């Protein structure tokens, strides 16, 4: 009979850890939190120092019973929940819910950053106790988010519409997106022109130069007249090289992934949403079955903002680089200064460099492989030397006009062999190499082109995560849930990769700005996040943080209930006519996204799919091509006349519709 019990969070870890430890141990899972605040009421006594009321989560009764049975059989109990704030809180709730201190058993807390045999066994050899500061930090966030959400959301229900929500982080992030939309809307494009001069060297090489201005300060023509004036001034004249600079530039190797940078790169390189990235990373962490290895965790813990790497993993990775690329490519593996503390979490990395992505490719689903490959390559690159570029820049003068040209070549690829980037690798204008200051070049031709300044770019999930991290809005574990939440509430929508604010999102943000300026104040939200971090460090009492925050917030709630007028958000009308009753259909939001519905509900219950039109004609039958989705959500282009017409394409057809018919 096992006399040592290990309690983990996820059932997916149970088999793996049991295999590592053998018959002397029993391993059971809590399946996440076993206790939480009640859903039906606030559950926080605001008049009694914000004492939380925890109850067993509905549906967890059977799990609790199994845990209690396992506890009775054990002499020693190890709480092995995740190595972060949330994991510490789950262990604390297990202590309270199972009454472990009163059981007379030996109780220990163990943490492992990766689910491997060595890591688990080492954790058991070196058990610790619960970190009360981490527990208090989680309680502080949970209580504050509950108070803000449960007292703010009813205001939105009364003044706007039901099923809306507001929150400490989500409302600040919504404001961030709305502010960007306002910048884009208010942007006034400015005209400017570029002028190129193609020069010919003495040996016949061509060099393309760009107009810089007439002095040391860059000035581009603001209209066609100015641009043509520059062209006329240099027409038929020679150009003289007045300056030439050669320099070496180093592009440092990237740090290994943090939660934020993993989400950003997975969005940019793999087109994964933040929630998908975290879901797949969780699978890689908890364990995947690999022939010859059994079930093993392929990456370290996925919620971290540290770039620190354990000394053993650092050495093994450098050995891998040496073996695969040679000693000349082995780098120092630097970390950020803020990560030098040895008690910080590690970065996200592979648990075993011998498990090359290509060797496990056939054992992983496609997207799981792609994410693992990204993490593996990024970690390898972080232990390699910088890429080195040799660049040449030159200035040319003609009739008082200054033109510039430049070129660069990759002299040493460094980390780029493992983790490619968008860096320029091919030299342009090789003719610059043979030139020297004072050389004269002839003019072959000039070209001028009109441009307009562009507004700020819409946020994508990747750029939004980066902005949230830079501004201190939320923490690594909250980025993906926050974005998923405001998407789910239809405050924002995604079109392609870009994020757009809906009318509902604008109304909610406007109400929040008017009545709860602190909640949507980015600086206030970031400052509150820092205070909550100080609770984790033992520098702040979480009750005092709440006592400092709540009085002013409560006053704003009471004032909003009295003063705010009801805002009606009309459904967006379309030109599509309901075939049953003749009304104009409106756009509604459902579990699977937007759809058309009759505004006559409940008298008329007609609904239709919302078609995304392209304006392109089907090459088979002439009807319009529309954007459709597979059952798994993948976009494709199909004929409006389906199923009678079977035309489809995974890529957008060409405007002239003469493209070769793609196969389905």
Instruction: Spell out, as residue ranges, where the chain has pLDDT lower than 70.
Output: 1-2, 337-344, 421-430, 589-593, 629-635, 654-664
Q: From the DSSP assignment, how many helices (H) and strands (E) are in the chain?
A: 17, 26
Question: Among 435, 452, 469, which residue terminates a domain?
Answer: 452
Concatenated DSSP letters of 345-401: PBPB-BS-TTS-HHHHGGGS-HHHHHHHHHHHHHHHHHTBPPEEEEEEEEEEEETTE
Give this prediction's pTM. Answer: 0.83
Do 163 and 208 have their domain in common?
A: no
Residue 655 has what pLDDT? 59
Do 518 and 556 have their domain in common?
A: yes
Residue 660 has what pLDDT? 35
Exposure on the CB side of residue 437, measured as CA atoms within 13 A: 7
Residue 612 has what pLDDT? 75
Do 118 and 8 have their domain in common?
A: yes
Do 364 and 391 have their domain in common?
A: no
Burial category of 331 from C-beta neighbours within 10 Å (exposed 0-12, middle 13-18, buried 19 and up) = middle
Burial category of 608 from C-beta neighbours within 10 Å (exposed 0-12, middle 13-18, buried 19 and up) = middle
CA dihedral 96, 99, 105, 108 (to 10 degrees): -10
Concatenated DSSP letters of 302-323: S-----B--HHHHHHHHHHHHH
* Mean pLDDT taken over the chain: 89
Do 402 and 366 have their domain in common?
A: no
527 touches 548 (CB < 8 A): no
Q: Structural domain tally of the chain?
A: 6
Write down the H helix ranges in 516-662. 522-536, 542-563
Residue 429 has what pLDDT? 64
Residues shown for the chain: 664
Do 20 and 103 have their domain in common?
A: yes
Do 263 and 244 have their domain in common?
A: no
Residue 552 has what pLDDT? 92
Do 92 and 143 have their domain in common?
A: no
CATH code of the domain covering residue 349? 1.10.290.10
Residue 428 has what pLDDT? 64
Do 527 and 621 have their domain in common?
A: no
Closest CA to 564 of 147, 170, 156: 156
Q: Which structural domain, as residue segments, surrounds residue 434?
A: 191-252+387-452
Do 8 and 126 have their domain in common?
A: yes
Residue 227 has what pLDDT? 97
Do 205 and 91 have their domain in common?
A: no
**Phi, psi (deg, nearest 5) at residue 139:** -60, -40
Do 350 and 421 have their domain in common?
A: no
User: Is the link from the previous residue into 602 a cis peptide, with omega within 30 of 0?
Assistant: yes
CA distances from 397 to 243, 246, 499 (A): 9, 19, 45
List active site positions. 301
Residue 309: which residues within 8 A CB-CB, separation 6 or more? 256, 317, 333, 335, 346, 347, 349, 379, 382
Per cent of the chain over pLDDT 90 is 66
Question: Among 130, 147, 174, which residue terminates a domain?
Answer: 130
CA distances from 568 to 89, 150, 288, 597, 601 (A): 41, 22, 50, 18, 17
Q: Tens of pLDDT along 45-102?
A: 999 999 999 999 999 999 999 999 999 999 999 999 999 899 999 999 999 999 999 9
- Rounded CA-CA distance 172/176 in Å is 6
């Amino acid at each position: 009979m096992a006399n040592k019990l290990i309690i983990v969070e996820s059932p997916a870890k149970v088999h793996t850890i049991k295999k590592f430890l053998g018959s002397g141990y029993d391993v059971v899972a809590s399946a996440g939190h076993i206790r939480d605040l009640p859903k039906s009421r606030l559950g926080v006594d605001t008049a009694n120092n914000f004492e939380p009321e925890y109850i067993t989560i509905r549906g967890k009764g059977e799990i609790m019973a199994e845990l209690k049975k396992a506890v009775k059989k054990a002499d020693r109990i190890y709480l092995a929940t995740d190595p972060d704030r949330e994991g510490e809180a789950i262990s604390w709730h297990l202590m309270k819910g199972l009454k472990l201190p009163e059981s007379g058993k030996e109780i220990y807390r163990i943490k492992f950053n990766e689910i491997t045999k060595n890591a688990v066994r080492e954790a058991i050899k070196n058990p610790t106790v619960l970190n009360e500061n981490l527990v208090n930090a989680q309680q502080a966030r949970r209580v504050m988010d509950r108070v803000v959400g449960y007292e703010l959301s009813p205001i939105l229900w009364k003044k706007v519409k039901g099923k809306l929500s507001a929150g400490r982080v989500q409302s600040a992030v919504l404001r961030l997106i709305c502010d960007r939309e306002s910048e884009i809307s208010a942007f006034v494009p400015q005209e400017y022109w570029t002028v190129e001069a193609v020069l010919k060297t003495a040996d016949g090489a061509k060099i393309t130069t760009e107009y810089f201005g007439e002095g040391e300060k860059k000035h581009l023509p603001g209209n066609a007249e100015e641009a043509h004036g520059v062209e006329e001034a240099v027409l038929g004249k020679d150009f003289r090289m007045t300056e030439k600079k050669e320099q070496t530039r180093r592009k440092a190797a990237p740090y290994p992934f943090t939660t934020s940078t993993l989400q950003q790169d997975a969005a940019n390189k793999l087109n994964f949403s933040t929630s998908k990235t975290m879901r797949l990373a969780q699978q890689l962490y908890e364990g995947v079955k690999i022939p010859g290895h059994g079930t093993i965790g392929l990456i370290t813990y996925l919620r971290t903002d540290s770039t620190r790497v354990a000394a053993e993993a650092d050495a093994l990775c450098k050995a891998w680089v040496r073996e695969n690329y040679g000693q000349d490519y082995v780098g120092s593996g630097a970390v950020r200064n803020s990560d030098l503390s040895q008690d910080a979490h590690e970065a996200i990395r592979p648990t075993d460099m011998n498990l090359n992505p290509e060797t496990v490719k056939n054992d992983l689903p496609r997207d799981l492989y792609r994410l693992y490959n990204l993490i593996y390559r990024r970690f390898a690159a972080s232990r390699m030397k910088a890429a080195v570029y040799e660049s040449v820049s030159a200035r040319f003068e003609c009739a008082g006009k200054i033109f510039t040209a430049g070129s660069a070549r990759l002299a040493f690829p460094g980390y780029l062999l493992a983790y490619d980037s968008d860096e320029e690798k091919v030299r342009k204008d090789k003719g610059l190499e043979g030139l020297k200051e004072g050389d004269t070049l002839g003019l072959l031709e000039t070209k001028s082109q009109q441009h307009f300044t562009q507004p700020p770019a819409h946020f994508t999930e990747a750029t939004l995560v980066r902005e949230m991290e830079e501004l201190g809005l939320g923490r690594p574990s909250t980025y993906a849930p926050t974005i998923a939440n405001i998407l789910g509430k239809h405050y924002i929508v995604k079109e392609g990769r870009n994020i757009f604010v809906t009318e509902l999102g604008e109304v909610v943000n406007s109400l929040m700005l008017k009545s709860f300026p602190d909640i949507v104040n980015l600086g206030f939200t970031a400052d509150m996040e820092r205070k909550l971090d100080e609770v984790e460090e033992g520098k702040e009492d979480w009750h005092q943080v709440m006592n400092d925050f709540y009085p002013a917030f409560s006053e704003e709630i009471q004032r909003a209930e009295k003063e705010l007028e009801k805002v009606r958000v009309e459904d967006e009308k379309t030109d599509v006519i309901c075939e049953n009753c003749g009304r104009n259909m409106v756009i509604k939001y459902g579990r699977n996204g937007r759809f058309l519905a009759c505004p006559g509900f409940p008298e008329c219950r007609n609904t239709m799919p919302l078609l995304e039109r392209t304006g392109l004609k089907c090459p088979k039958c002439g009807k319009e091509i529309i954007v459709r989705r597979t059952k798994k959500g993948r976009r494709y282009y199909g004929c409006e006349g389906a199923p009678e017409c079977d035309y489809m394409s995974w890529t957008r057809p060409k405007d002239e519709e003469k493209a070769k018919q793609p196969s389905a």
